[in-house]
Amino acid sequence: MSLQAGHDQRLDEIRDRFAHAVGQWIGCDWPTEFGRRRLDLRDLRADHAVLMARATAGTEAEAWWEASRWLARVETEALEAEAEARQAIAKAEAGSWLEALSHARAACDMEARYHSQLIWQPLRESVESAFRKSGRPS
Protein backbone atom coordinates (compact mmCIF):
# COMPACT_ATOMS: atom_id res chain seq x y z
CA MET A 1 0.00 0.00 0.00
CA SER A 2 1.36 3.40 -0.92
CA LEU A 3 1.89 6.10 1.69
CA GLN A 4 -0.89 8.18 0.14
CA ALA A 5 -3.31 5.24 0.11
CA GLY A 6 -2.56 4.55 3.78
CA HIS A 7 -3.07 8.23 4.60
CA ASP A 8 -6.39 8.28 2.72
CA GLN A 9 -7.56 5.11 4.45
CA ARG A 10 -6.74 6.55 7.88
CA LEU A 11 -8.60 9.77 7.02
CA ASP A 12 -11.62 7.79 5.83
CA GLU A 13 -11.71 5.89 9.13
CA ILE A 14 -11.40 9.12 11.12
CA ARG A 15 -14.17 10.76 9.09
CA ASP A 16 -16.39 7.69 9.60
CA ARG A 17 -15.81 7.77 13.36
CA PHE A 18 -16.68 11.47 13.41
CA ALA A 19 -19.84 10.95 11.33
CA HIS A 20 -20.95 8.19 13.69
CA ALA A 21 -20.47 10.35 16.80
CA VAL A 22 -21.59 13.79 15.64
CA GLY A 23 -24.86 14.83 17.22
CA GLN A 24 -24.90 11.84 19.59
CA TRP A 25 -24.11 13.84 22.72
CA ILE A 26 -26.16 17.00 22.98
CA GLY A 27 -26.86 17.15 26.70
CA CYS A 28 -27.78 15.09 29.73
CA ASP A 29 -28.44 11.60 28.39
CA TRP A 30 -27.90 9.60 31.57
CA PRO A 31 -29.92 9.13 34.77
CA THR A 32 -29.24 11.78 37.41
CA GLU A 33 -30.15 12.61 40.95
CA PHE A 34 -29.65 16.34 40.74
CA GLY A 35 -29.79 18.57 43.80
CA ARG A 36 -31.60 18.06 47.07
CA ARG A 37 -34.78 17.15 45.24
CA ARG A 38 -32.84 14.44 43.40
CA LEU A 39 -34.29 15.42 40.03
CA ASP A 40 -33.72 12.98 37.21
CA LEU A 41 -32.68 15.25 34.34
CA ARG A 42 -32.06 12.47 31.85
CA ASP A 43 -33.05 13.56 28.34
CA LEU A 44 -34.15 16.99 29.56
CA ARG A 45 -32.80 20.16 28.03
CA ALA A 46 -32.17 23.45 29.78
CA ASP A 47 -35.23 25.01 28.16
CA HIS A 48 -37.39 22.18 29.57
CA ALA A 49 -36.08 22.87 33.05
CA VAL A 50 -36.86 26.58 32.59
CA LEU A 51 -40.45 25.64 31.75
CA MET A 52 -40.63 23.54 34.92
CA ALA A 53 -39.19 26.42 36.97
CA ARG A 54 -41.82 28.78 35.59
CA ALA A 55 -44.61 26.27 36.23
CA THR A 56 -43.68 25.74 39.88
CA ALA A 57 -43.02 27.90 42.92
CA GLY A 58 -40.82 28.10 45.99
CA THR A 59 -38.06 25.59 46.56
CA GLU A 60 -39.24 23.43 43.69
CA ALA A 61 -38.89 26.34 41.27
CA GLU A 62 -35.44 27.10 42.68
CA ALA A 63 -34.41 23.49 42.10
CA TRP A 64 -35.55 23.68 38.48
CA TRP A 65 -33.73 27.00 37.92
CA GLU A 66 -30.55 25.42 39.27
CA ALA A 67 -31.13 22.39 37.05
CA SER A 68 -31.59 24.63 34.01
CA ARG A 69 -28.21 26.29 34.64
CA TRP A 70 -26.49 22.93 35.04
CA LEU A 71 -28.14 21.52 31.91
CA ALA A 72 -27.08 24.61 29.97
CA ARG A 73 -23.46 23.94 31.02
CA VAL A 74 -23.72 20.31 29.90
CA GLU A 75 -25.20 21.38 26.56
CA THR A 76 -22.45 23.96 26.08
CA GLU A 77 -19.75 21.40 26.85
CA ALA A 78 -21.33 18.97 24.39
CA LEU A 79 -21.17 21.63 21.68
CA GLU A 80 -17.59 22.51 22.60
CA ALA A 81 -16.57 18.85 22.50
CA GLU A 82 -18.10 18.51 19.05
CA ALA A 83 -16.23 21.64 17.93
CA GLU A 84 -12.98 20.08 19.20
CA ALA A 85 -13.78 16.92 17.24
CA ARG A 86 -14.39 19.01 14.11
CA GLN A 87 -11.00 20.65 14.63
CA ALA A 88 -9.45 17.19 14.96
CA ILE A 89 -10.85 16.30 11.53
CA ALA A 90 -9.60 19.53 9.98
CA LYS A 91 -6.11 19.05 11.41
CA ALA A 92 -6.02 15.40 10.34
CA GLU A 93 -7.01 16.39 6.80
CA ALA A 94 -4.15 18.90 6.83
CA GLY A 95 -1.75 16.19 8.01
CA SER A 96 -1.20 17.94 11.35
CA TRP A 97 -1.50 14.75 13.37
CA LEU A 98 -0.23 16.11 16.68
CA GLU A 99 -2.76 18.95 16.59
CA ALA A 100 -5.50 16.55 15.48
CA LEU A 101 -4.70 14.34 18.44
CA SER A 102 -4.76 17.30 20.81
CA HIS A 103 -8.25 18.27 19.64
CA ALA A 104 -9.55 14.69 19.77
CA ARG A 105 -8.25 14.33 23.31
CA ALA A 106 -9.85 17.64 24.29
CA ALA A 107 -13.22 16.41 23.01
CA CYS A 108 -12.89 13.28 25.16
CA ASP A 109 -11.71 15.22 28.20
CA MET A 110 -14.77 17.47 28.06
CA GLU A 111 -17.11 14.55 27.66
CA ALA A 112 -15.42 12.51 30.39
CA ARG A 113 -16.70 14.98 32.98
CA TYR A 114 -20.16 13.56 32.30
CA HIS A 115 -19.94 10.15 30.58
CA SER A 116 -18.04 7.00 31.36
CA GLN A 117 -18.50 5.58 27.85
CA LEU A 118 -17.22 8.32 25.60
CA ILE A 119 -18.88 8.99 22.28
CA TRP A 120 -15.71 10.69 21.02
CA GLN A 121 -13.34 7.89 22.14
CA PRO A 122 -13.42 5.93 18.84
CA LEU A 123 -12.45 9.13 17.00
CA ARG A 124 -9.61 9.75 19.44
CA GLU A 125 -8.40 6.16 19.04
CA SER A 126 -8.38 6.47 15.25
CA VAL A 127 -6.47 9.75 15.40
CA GLU A 128 -3.98 8.21 17.87
CA SER A 129 -3.45 5.28 15.53
CA ALA A 130 -2.98 7.56 12.53
CA PHE A 131 -0.56 9.71 14.53
CA ARG A 132 1.56 6.66 15.41
CA LYS A 133 1.51 5.41 11.81
CA SER A 134 2.44 8.81 10.43
CA GLY A 135 5.84 8.40 12.00
CA ARG A 136 6.35 12.12 12.33
CA PRO A 137 4.94 14.73 14.65
CA SER A 138 3.57 17.85 13.02
Helix residue ranges, H only, 22-120: 46-55, 58-93, 97-112
- Walk along the chain (138 residues) in steps of 10 and give the mean pLDDT of each run: 64 96 94 93 97 97 97 97 98 95 98 92 96 72
pTM comes to: 0.88
- Per domain, the residue ranges of the chain are 3-134
Q: How far is CA 121 from CA 52, 77, 105, 106, 110, in A?
A: 34, 16, 8, 11, 11
